[in-house]
Structure 1
Amino acid sequence: MATRTRRSQRRTEALSRERIVKAAVELLDASGESGLTFRVLTERLETGPGAIYWHVANKDELLAAATDAVVAGAVATGATGITGAGEPSQEPEDGIRDVALRLFDATEAHPWLAAQLATQLSRNPGGTVAPRILEGIGRHVRALGVPQDGWFTTASALMHYILGAAGQNVANTESARALGPEADRGDFLGTVSAAWKRLDPDDYPFTRAVAEQARTHDDREQFLAGVDLLLTGINAGHPRTA
């Protein structure tokens, strides 16, 4: 009995929380949230459910941990122009663009992430996800010379734009897939553009005018253009002194 207990304990120790979360991310990437079950997870890790529950209490905790792991990789110190001492190692505008693109790319690489980010930020703002993102953006905001009483508003505005635009991009991709197995982004945008061009010219003159731009736009370029618009406003409101 003692030997069996020691073996069980060694298996539990070998099955770290990090391994469980890594496997969960892989399952989420492959099958989405519905594909992440403890049964499938135990099969993938070749263990029993008890060993997993030793590290993770339930699916909600596992989803939160998976989201946090992906976000941590996206806004890691050093990867986003922050030194080990916590200070920016590049121009703050470039640092903000870097954080923004890393989060944008993360939502593209992990289609489930956008929905989980919304869930974590609304249901669990005291968890680790919101502070990670806020810190990744906020250190660069501070370096921009924004007064301290404007740090939260400025960083929050950037965070809401970045996550909102990234989430909409994922939703558009999913909508394009819904058109059929042979459809792609171009087909989806072409359908949207054609619908806009058919709108009443008196009621929708602007939307008709930009219909062709919508069809041919580049998602990443549009995303960064939005970041730059915000940065232009921030710098205009809080010009840095030499």
Structure 2
Amino acid sequence: MTTEIRTRRRADALTKERIVEAAIAILDQDGEDALTFRALAARLATGSGALYWHVADKQELLAAATDQIIAAVLTEAVSRPRPQDAIRALALGVFDAIDAHPWVGGQLSRDPWQYAVLRILEGIGGQIQALGVPEHAQFNAATALMSFILGLAGQYASRPRACEDGMDRVAILESVAAKWAQLDPVEHPFVRQVATMLAGHDDREQFLAGIDLILAGIETGIARSGDANA
């Protein structure tokens, strides 16, 4: 029996779903740098060659793992009866997914054309349509929400680098707030004012407040459009 035939038989025993689930386990446990085809093969008790029947490279694997996480978020969000609630659930679902799986934030911010991002845009766009946003304004409304959510992804992706020195989140924010408080009061009056709020703020609440501000603007736009057409 040739090596190629043995490898093919191992590949037939695998599925892409199993490979992606194993990849997610490695990513969650040890981070993106730990995800190699050798580590994945060891976890699945197979040869590295068998994996290539299902996944071309690490980038495809990261995209598939991210898509699986985001697909679960969207399934939960679309069950909400009101479009506003569905958008909030979708946004918070992405927030919580990135919080639970920091590598998802890195992947979303690194490749804005991957299918997981398309899923998010489709999910938001459907709810924007359900809200009654005029067709000419739907793209701008949906992409405003998308930009806010993916901006969070980029911010969260940078967190591991910010914490390399061992400081926790509160310690880092307290350090930044102390620096802000020392800024020139004439040049930076607002930044000095909010410095006292920085360390104690809740990221999730702040994120939802941003989503609500965007939704309020969208709803105001709908109302103005209705008045103009009345």
Same fold (TM > 0.5): yes
Q: Tell me by how many angstroms 1:219 deviates.
A: 0.7
1:228-239 alignment runs, 5 A limit:
228-239=212-223
The aligned residue for residue 154 of structure 2 is: 167
The aligned residue for residue 45 of structure 1 is: 44
Matched, 1:217 2:201: yes
Identity %: 50
Q: Distance in 2 between matches of 1:236 and 1:144?
A: 12
Equivalent in 163, 167, 173 of residue 189 of structure 1: 173
Gaps of 5+ in 1: 83-88
The aligned residue for residue 61 of structure 2 is: 62
Q: What per-residue deviation string (whole Å, max 9, x for no partner) do you get for residues 121-140 of structure 1?
A: 1xxx2x42222111111111
Q: Distance in 1 between matches of 2:117 and 2:208?
A: 21
1:125-140 alignment runs, 5 A limit:
125=113, 127-140=114-127
Matched, 1:102 2:88: no
CA contact (8 A) 2:55 2:61 kept: yes
CA contact (8 A) 1:42 1:49 kept: yes
Q: What TM-score do the two structures reach when normalised by structure 1?
A: 0.85
Partner of 1:63, secondary structure, is helix
Partner of 1:75, secondary structure, is helix
Partner of 1:114, secondary structure, is helix
The aligned residue for residue 77 of structure 2 is: 80
The aligned residue for residue 154 of structure 1 is: 141
Q: What per-residue deviation string (whole Å, max 9, x for no partner) do you get for residues 186-240 of structure 1?
A: 2111111111001111111110011011122111110000000000100001129
CA contact (8 A) 1:189 1:214 kept: yes
CA contact (8 A) 1:96 1:137 kept: yes
Q: Distance in 2 between matches of 1:214 and 1:170?
A: 20
Q: Tell me by how many angstroms 1:14 deviates.
A: 2.5
Q: CA RMSD of the aligned region, Å?
A: 2.1
CA contact (8 A) 1:169 1:219 kept: no
Going from structure 1 to structure 2, the CA distance change for 1:234 and 1:119 (only over 3 Å counts) comes to same
Going from structure 1 to structure 2, the CA distance change for 1:166 and 1:118 (only over 3 Å counts) comes to closer
Q: Which amino acid aligns with 1:155?
A: A
Equivalent in 75, 96, 115 of residue 106 of structure 2: 115
Q: What per-residue deviation string (whole Å, max 9, x for no partner) do you get for residues 61-108 of structure 1?
A: 1111112111112212xx1134xxxxxx41111111000000001111
CA contact (8 A) 2:106 2:153 kept: no
Q: Distance in 2 between matches of 1:26 and 1:235?
A: 41
Q: Distance in 1 between matches of 2:84 and 2:13?
A: 43
Q: Tell me by how many angstroms 1:170 deviates.
A: 4.8
Q: Distance in 2 between matches of 1:14 and 1:152?
A: 44
Q: Tell me by how many angstroms 1:143 deviates.
A: 1.1
CA contact (8 A) 2:23 2:35 kept: yes
Partner of 1:216, secondary structure, is coil
Q: Distance in 2 between matches of 1:214 and 1:81?
A: 33
Q: Which has the higher helix share?
A: 2
Matched, 1:145 2:132: yes
Q: Tell me by how many angstroms 1:31 deviates.
A: 2.2
Q: Distance in 1 between matches of 2:206 and 2:165?
A: 23
